[in-house]
Amino acid sequence: MSKRIVVPFGPQHPVLPEPIHLDLVLEDELVVDVVPSIGYIHRGLEQLVLKREFTEYVYVAERICGICSFMHALCYSQGIEHIMNIEVPDRAKYLRTIWSECSRLHSHLLWLGLFADGMGFENLFMRSWQLRESVLDVLEDTTGGRVIQGTCKVGGVRRDIGQEKLDDMHRTLDTFEENCRDLGDVFLNDGSVKYRLQGLSVIPRDDAYALGAAGPTARASGVAMDHRETGYAAYGDLGFKPVVETAGDCYAGVPSGSESSTRRSTSSGGRSRGCPKDPST
């Protein structure tokens, strides 16, 4: 009979993107349970909001996370707009959507790269991050920042994207999509990736729903949930549908994340040429 041992892991470890302490329960070399201890980077942002004007807190919200910074600013701004019944110009909605998709793309490519790094697949890791750099270049060209954009505000956006730049972004999407599909082909069909991911950390659909799983984790377990279907920003005009898998393991999370993001960004880019003209963005 296997003997269980508990191995402490973290809060500081080279493989951890952020500090967290995990007690790993092992039977021989198999991890059978994980007990997390969270809160190492709690910064009291909820209290800070009481000391700032509501228009200033957009900057604080954007700094909750350096990966999805624009999304935090957008969610906060939309909350205030809903409370105050503020109408956002159509062009600003489309610009928000473009920057949102850029944020999702670089986030997915970052985590796919870390996924590969955790498996020891360094070549795949570097290729993922190489593609991510091209997305960060677009963010820098259009917002002035690679990590913190600062373009979202209550009532609209602070910057516009010229038609010449929109056309340039549209032209590069075909090449970018092809490169992403080549990357996805390795993640989905490489034997070493399948060996490391298939059957690992399975989350049944009911458990995923009950635990509040979101994004690729939820869709990998068969939960057809994507809040972009609610139509916020300009998503109501784009007709996105979630990419859903049913296995619920780590391997199923790859197509539900990478394929979903590629398909959506190509769709939103294809509509960028028709971005409504409105000077009051």
pLDDT at 13 over 90: no
Q: And the tokens for 192?
A: 């070493």
pTM recorded for the entire structure: 0.84
Determine how many CB atoms are found less than 10 A away from the CB of residue 84. Answer: 10
Q: Report the pLDDT value the prediction gives residue 257, as an integer from 0 to 100.
A: 58
pLDDT at 14 over 80: no
The pLDDT tens digits of the residues spanning 207-263 come to 999 999 988 899 999 998 888 888 999 999 988 888 899 999 989 988 765 555 555
Q: How confident is the model at residue 119 (pLDDT cuts 50, 70, 90)?
A: confident
Q: What is the mean pLDDT of the chain?
A: 86
Give 182-187's long-range contacts (Cβ < 8 A, gap of 24+): 183/112, 183/124, 183/127, 183/128, 183/131, 183/258, 184/254, 184/255, 184/258, 184/259, 184/262, 186/124, 186/127, 187/112, 187/116, 187/124, 187/254, 187/258
Give 58-67's long-range contacts (Cβ < 8 A, gap of 24+): 58/152, 58/153, 58/154, 59/150, 62/148, 62/149, 62/150, 62/152, 63/148, 66/147, 66/148, 67/106, 67/107, 67/110
Q: Report the pLDDT value the prediction gives residue 270, as an integer from 0 to 100.
A: 43
Q: Cα–Cα distance between 208 and 224 in angstroms, integer?
A: 11
Name which residue leads in pLDDT, 16 or 265.
16
- Superfamily of segment(s) 90-145+155-272: Cytochrome-c3 Hydrogenase, chain B (1.10.645.10)
* Residue extent(s) of CATH 1.10.645.10 domains in the chain: 90-145+155-272
pLDDT at 271 over 70: no
What average pLDDT score do residues 38-66 get?
85
Q: Report the pLDDT value the prediction gives residue 1, as an integer from 0 to 100.
A: 60
